[in-house]
Amino acid sequence: MSAQTPVIEMRHVEKYYGDLHVLKDINLSVTKGEVVVIIGPSGSGKSTLCRTINRLETIGSGEILIDGEKIPEEGKKLAQLRSQIGMVFQSFNLFPHRTILDNVTLAPVDVLKRNKKEAQQEALELLKRVGVGDQANKVPAQLSGGQQQRAAIARALAMHPKAMLFDEPTSALDPEMIGEVLNVMTELAAEGMTMLVVTHEMNFARRVASRVIFMEDGAILEEGAPEEFFEHPKTQRAQAFLQSIREH
Amino acid sequence: MSKNNTSIRDFLYEEPGPKTRTWIRIGTGIALVLLAWLIYAVIDRFNVTGQFREKYWIFFTRWTTWRFLGEGLLTTLRVAVTAGAITFALGFLLMRARLNRHTVIWRISAGIISFTRGVPTLLFVYFFFLVFPKTGIKLTGFWKITLPVAISACGVVAEALRSGVNAVPKGQREAALSLGMTERRSFYRVIFPQAFRFVIPTLIAEMVIVLKDTTFAYIVSCADLMQNAKVLISNYDALVSIYLVVAVIYILINYGLNKLSDSLARRGGTMESRRAKA
């Protein structure tokens, strides 16, 4: 046992979709303040892994622990656990029928029973922090993709999560908007947020990650510090993957 | 069609060219001639058969006639609104049950939905008129028409609501769950409000059917607009003129409902621009 309990820990996690073995003996731990970036080709199980951590995907066997406790399987306890882990989706998933401000305050008021005024005040600060403070009274459809994703990050932060999961947060964005979202994530990392990030942004991984995990075919093939991984990948597959990216 | 008001036609058809425009003009001309001839033919038949005779119309100048029809109309509206509320509540429950993950529950719900959609309203009316009283429970004429009309429509309402729920992207539920909402809370706070907006036009179309179904009220001797019209007809021996007036009243109400549906749909669509101004 390490001195510190990891915020997120996965032990021997296996998952099948029918005959398809999508997660193979996944062992992973993320300690407080760490930024773990998962990379790998499409269909390697990165997103699935990310989504099992707050049980948006169930697992076949093995166990997942948050702060040393097993994830509850259902009901209020599961909801309560999810409220402690922020999640940012590829397609933003803002609530289109509500304003940006309402998007951010809905869960704090409804789930955490916070005072509405205070929640709104905090929401405005968060929105300002991610650079969309002046969009608070618009509905999501009026914002650009980059603005929507930053608002979605603010929505997750409003729950004061212990850790944040990012499931390909920039994959649905136009190139010029990727930077603004990555900047927010970089700042968040610098402030000490515990983060698990699935991404294709290699520069981000290199700059911000404390650790890089390379996945292929549902298994973790390699894990290491970013400089080490990007300069001297150990496995042939990681080498080939990095090579194929560099060619562009 | 004005340029700044895009309609569905703009997506279905391309802008007509010169030849097409000529054909449209010819077609419009022919249609107008046919329409004029039809109107003339109807008026002519009315004239020939004496439908314009004073005795068929004179009673419409009397206040009591209109009051009588007005009372009927009020009953019709009361039945329609009550049946509408009941059918929405039943439809909502059936939709929730239909989307339940327990096989037994959703199958029962699916069965009820198919049953109510398959059986004609008239049979439900007869059931409440002839069979139900045998249970010993006494219903007034109002309920004898309201309940069958509501039951007859609830399956369609359930399916409309369900299609709305299914049209809400999956990510919405996931986002709500990831914020710590329970399934129930995510349904009521995030999914259903969006689903409801999607199906407002369908629900209003169903309200039109509910309103039309209330005309079965004469069977259970509930004094609705149709029943009162029948009374007037036998009093004055004037069938065509009275039915004509009553038809116009029904058309106006349903036209109003359709306008309401349009304006609600448009409001949903332009909500963004309205909020932008605020």
Distance from CA of B186 to the nearest CA of A (A): 10
pLDDT at A151: 97
How far away is chain B from the Cα of A89, in angstroms, using its nearest Cα?
Answer: 8
User: Can you tell me the distance from the alpha carbon of B35 to that of B51, in angstroms, rounded to the nearest whole number?
Assistant: 21
Q: Does residue B271 belong to the interface with chain A, where contact is any CB pair within 8 Å?
A: yes
pLDDT of res. B269: 54
pLDDT score recorded for residue B5: 57
Q: SS3 for B189?
A: helix
Give the Cα separation of A11 and A101 in Å (integer): 38
Query: What residues of chain B lie within 8 A of the CB of A93, using their CB?
Result: 169, 171-172, 174-175
The per-residue pLDDT for B275 is 42
- Chain B residues whose CB is inside 8 A of the A156 CB are 178-179
Quick one: angle between helices B225-236 and B239-277, nearest 10? 150
pLDDT of residue B3: 45
B272: contact with A, CB 8 A cutoff:
yes
Mutation choice for B interface testing from A55, A106, A137 by most B CBs within 10 A: A106
A97 contacts chain B (CB < 8 A) = yes
**Which tokens is B151 given?**
């039951």
**CB contact burial A102-115 (16+ within 10 A = b; e otherwise):** bbbbbbbbbbeebe
A29 in contact with B, Cβ within 8 Å: no
A110 contact B CB<8A = yes
pLDDT at position A35 = 96
- Give the per-residue pLDDT at A200: 92
Tell me if chain B has a CB within 8 Å of the CB of A144.
Answer: no
**Distances B75 to B85, B141, B219, B236, B244 between C-alpha atoms, Å:** 15, 11, 15, 22, 19
Distance, in Å, from the CA atom of B274 to the CA atom of B278, rounded to the nearest integer, reads 7
Residue to mutate among A55, A82, A99, A155, with most B CBs inside 10 A, is: A82
CA B57 to chain CA centroid, nearest Å: 30
Cβ of A83 within 8 Å of Cβ of B175? The answer is no
Distance from C-alpha of A219 to C-alpha of A22, rounded to nearest angstrom: 8
CB B221 within 8 A of CB B141: yes
Backbone angles phi, psi at A8, to 5 degrees: -125, 130
Spell out the per-residue pLDDT of chain B, length 278, in tens: 444 556 666 777 788 899 999 999 999 999 999 999 999 999 999 999 988 888 889 898 899 999 999 999 999 999 999 999 999 999 999 999 999 999 999 999 999 999 999 999 999 999 999 999 898 888 899 999 999 999 999 999 999 999 999 999 999 999 999 999 999 999 999 999 999 999 999 999 999 999 999 999 989 989 999 999 999 999 999 999 999 999 999 999 999 999 988 888 777 654 444 444 33
**Contact map slice: B 163-192 vs A, CB within 8 A:** 169, 171-172, 174-182, 185, 189-190
pTM for the structure as a whole: 0.85
Residue in A56, A96, A107 nearest the CB of B180: A107
Distance CA B145, CA B167 (A): 34
CB contact under 8 A, A156 and B179: yes
Q: B71-277 adopts what CATH topology?
A: MetI-like fold (1.10.3720)
Residues of B in contact with A80 (CB under 8 A): 180
Using an 8 Å CB-CB cutoff, list chain A residues near B182: 75-76, 79
> With a cut of 50, which residues of chain A have pLDDT below it?
1-2
Chains A and B form CB pairs within 8 A to the count of: 79
